[in-house]
Amino acid sequence: MSDAYKKAGVDINAGYEVLKTVKKMSGNTQLGAFGGLFPLSQTSVSNDPVLVAGTDGVGTKLLVAIAADQHDTIGIDLVAMCVNDILAQGALPQFFLDYLGLGHTDQQRVKAILAGVVAGCEQAHAKLIGGETAEMPDMYGQAHYDLAGFAVGIADRAALLSPENVLAGDVLIGLPSNGLHSNGFSLVRDILFKQHQFKLTHVFAELGHDLQTELLRPTKIYVDAVAPLLKAKAVAGIAHITGGGLIENVARALPAGLSAQLDNGTWPVPPIMPLLAELGDLTTADLRATFNLGLGMVLIVHPDKLAAVTASLSAGNQPFYQVGTVATGNQPVVFREAQHD
C-alpha cells in the first residue's frame, strides 16, 4: 500500500478494518462490493408494488455527539430519520445504505457510529446492504464527521398514504417521541451553549439527568408500531414530525380545505422543550414550528378504524394519545383547548 496517500492524511488500511468490523456487526458478508444487493423475493408486497425511497442526515446533533465523544446512538438517529419518512408514505422499510464522511478514521469511533446504524436497521427490520466511509482530512476537522443515509421501502400502490385519503371527522392519534429526536439542534445549541454556556454535564432539576443524556436520546423508530397498521390498511395518513415541528409536518398530511384540530393538554410535552422556551425566550409559536413537542408521529384514522388501531397499538405496548380531529377549515393546523367532560 502506498505511503503517499497516508502521508496526505488518508489511511486506507484503517478503512479496510472498518469494513471488516461492519461486516461482522451487520452479518452481511456482501458489504464491500461495488453495489449493494437486495433480492426482491424477500418482499411480501404483491399486486402493484412501488418502491419508496428517502434520504436524510442527522444535522447538527452530530456536534453534540462529537463534543460528548458519544457516538453509539447517532446511527440510530440516522436510520430513524429515513425509515420514519418512508413509513409515513405507507411503505415498509426493506434496505438501508449509509454515508460517513470524516476527517480522520478513528477505528473505535467509526465502529461506534456504525454500530448505531446497524442497531437502527435491526429496529427498522431493514437490511444494511452497503455504504461509504470517506476520509477527507481537508474537508473535515480531525474530530468531525458528517453522516447521511438512504432507505428504500416497498408498498402496494393502492395502499400508499396520501392527503387525498384524509376526511373530515378523522381522528388524530399521537405516538410519543423520545425527546427532541434530531430536529432543531441549531436552536438548541444556540440557547444552551452560546446564549448560556452550559456544559453537557449540567443537570437541570426539570430533567433529572445531565444535558448529554437528554440531547443524545436516539430518535424513536416507529416501524414495529406502524407496520401492522399499514398491513391492515387501518390508517388514512401519517405525519412524521421532523424539521418544521408539528405545524409544518401535520399540514403535509392534509389536503386543501381540511384542518388538523390539535387539543392542547392531551399528551405530555417533554420537559426539555418548555425549559428551552424559558432559557431562549421562545414563543409558543416558536416551539410548535421547531420541535415535535412530544409527538414523533401523528396517525390520521377514519373513525370506523379507531378501535382496530388502538387495539393494535396496545397489543404492541406502544403508548399513544388521542390528540385531536380533522375538520373543514383553511388553517391547516389549529391548536385548541382540550374539551373536558
* Single-letter amino acid, residue 171: V
At 180 the pLDDT is 97
At 1 the pLDDT is 47
Cα 12 to Cα 2, 4, 7, 27, 132, distances in angstroms: 9, 11, 11, 22, 13
Please list, in sequence order, all residues whose beta carbon lies within 8 angstroms of the beta carbon of residue 7, skipping any fewer than 6 positions away. none
Joined grid coordinates for residue 245: 415541528
In this structure, the number of other CB atoms found within 10 A of the CB of residue 279 comes to 15
Question: What's the rounded Cα separation, in Å, for the pair 123 and 117?
Answer: 10
The dihedral formed by the CA atoms of 117, 25, 125 and 226, expressed in degrees to the nearest 10:
-40
Cα 152 to Cα 120, 161, 206, distances in angstroms: 14, 16, 39
At 19 the pLDDT is 57
At 138 the pLDDT is 86
At 47 the pLDDT is 74
Return the axis-axis angle of helices 61-68 and 74-87, rounded to nearest 10°. Answer: 160
At 48 the pLDDT is 84
| Cα dihedral 247, 252, 256, 259 sign | negative
Closest CA to 271 of 254, 251, 287: 287
Joined grid coordinates for residue 121: 436497521
* Residue ranges of the chain with per-residue pLDDT less than 50: 1, 4-5, 8, 341
270-328 residue pLDDT tens = 999 999 999 999 999 999 999 999 999 999 999 999 999 999 999 999 999 999 999 99
194-217 residue pLDDT tens = 999 999 999 999 999 999 999 999
* Single-letter amino acid, residue 132: E
* Domains observed in the chain: 3-157 (3.30.1330.10), 163-337 (3.90.650.10)
